[in-house]
Amino acid sequence: MLIGANVSLSGDKMLLGAAEQAHTYGASTLQAYIGAPQNTRRKPIEAMRIDEGLAAMAEWQLSHLVIHAPYIINLGNTKKPENFEFAVQFMRAEVNRADAVHAYTMPFHPGAHVGAGAQAGIEQVIKGLNQVIQPDQNVTIALETMAGKGTELGRTFEELAQILDGVQHNDKVMVTLDTCHINDAGYPVVDDFDGVLNTFDHMIGLDKLAVVHLNDSKNPQGSHKDRHANIGFGTIGFEVLNRIAHHPALPAIPKILETPFVGTTKPQHPPYGIEINWLKTQQFVPAELEALMD
């Protein structure tokens, strides 16, 4: 099982530090942001300790490095056309950085239409991706399923399929399936995940699924909230998420945890070593995490 978590690619150690974190969690894969997702400040590629990081990943049998695109990019915004060119150029540079660290795929929030309507937003995302994607890039861009809060795009498989169909270099575009997001978007993750996966296969195709974000949800199905919960502490529950982690149709798909840090005082504690162990052993021991929450 390819199981991992979101780790930090920052400080002096950069990719080496991210690999070290993932290894301490008992992970077999990992996800990181190249820089803070809320801003565009980035270190030069030569400062990212790529060779050391890749060597450590090989030593610890960490594969399928996932680099998440920043939230600050909104290719779906037609209301501020003056920002479009910057968004395209920054996203293209982020793809180049992801290629430099040998990333497998790049989850990407499609953006929001900010009141212009879903169709206008989708067409703008397609326009942007067709300018961002280069035929010689290695990393794929994995459009993420969204919860549908506000004017978010990508809250249905149909919207994602429309974007995929409009991208010229279609082989460079994949999909990220987030369990919290699709639950909050209204898909019956708890009662019929096999049916959800079948719908995804018919609308998009399982061959387009690059990564699963394995998150519990603090909210009920269809809430359109997007608030992640720790594994087994939300409305989806450990049994369902464990079944998804071990699903026979998804053995080669990396599963990435993006669950909240825990604790009432700072610094809070990462839950990933505990949650990954639960999923590897298929044994849910809530007291192990509850001890860190006090």
pLDDT tens sequence across 89-145: 999 999 999 999 999 999 999 999 999 999 999 999 999 999 999 999 999 999 999
- The pTM (predicted TM-score) of the whole model is 0.97
Split at pLDDT 50, 70, 90, the class of 294 is confident
**How much is the pLDDT for 10?**
84
Tell me if 228 is assigned to a ligand binding site: yes
pLDDT at 58 over 80: yes
The Cβ of residue 7 has, within 10 Å, a number of other Cβ atoms equal to 23
**How much is the pLDDT for 16?**
97
Alpha carbon distance 67, 87 (integer Å): 17
**How much is the pLDDT for 57?**
98
pLDDT tens string 255-282 = 999 999 999 888 899 999 999 999 999 9
pLDDT at 180 over 90: yes
Q: At residue 96, what is the residue type?
A: N
Split at pLDDT 50, 70, 90, the class of 39 is confident
Q: For domain 3-291, give the fold.
A: TIM Barrel (3.20.20)
Separation in Å, CA 209 to CA 29, 99, 144, 155, 219: 16, 19, 10, 16, 25
Alpha carbon distance 206, 265 (integer Å): 42
**How much is the pLDDT for 22?**
98
Tell me if 64 is assigned to a ligand binding site: no
Split at pLDDT 50, 70, 90, the class of 38 is confident
Alpha carbon distance 5, 214 (integer Å): 9
Q: What is the mean pLDDT of residues 198-224?
A: 98
Structural tokens at position 17 = 């530090």
Q: What is the mean pLDDT of residues 180-201?
A: 98
Separation in Å, CA 178 to CA 134, 182, 213: 26, 6, 4
Structural tokens at position 6 = 């979101």
**How much is the pLDDT for 74?**
94
What percent of the chain is predicted at pLDDT more than 90?
A: 93
Alpha carbon distance 177, 61 (integer Å): 24
Tell me if 181 is assigned to a ligand binding site: yes
Tell me if 102 is assigned to a ligand binding site: no
Tell me if 226 is assigned to a ligand binding site: yes
pLDDT at 71 over 90: no
Split at pLDDT 50, 70, 90, the class of 72 is confident
**How much is the pLDDT for 265?**
87
**How much is the pLDDT for 264?**
87
Tell me if 258 is assigned to a ligand binding site: yes
Split at pLDDT 50, 70, 90, the class of 40 is confident
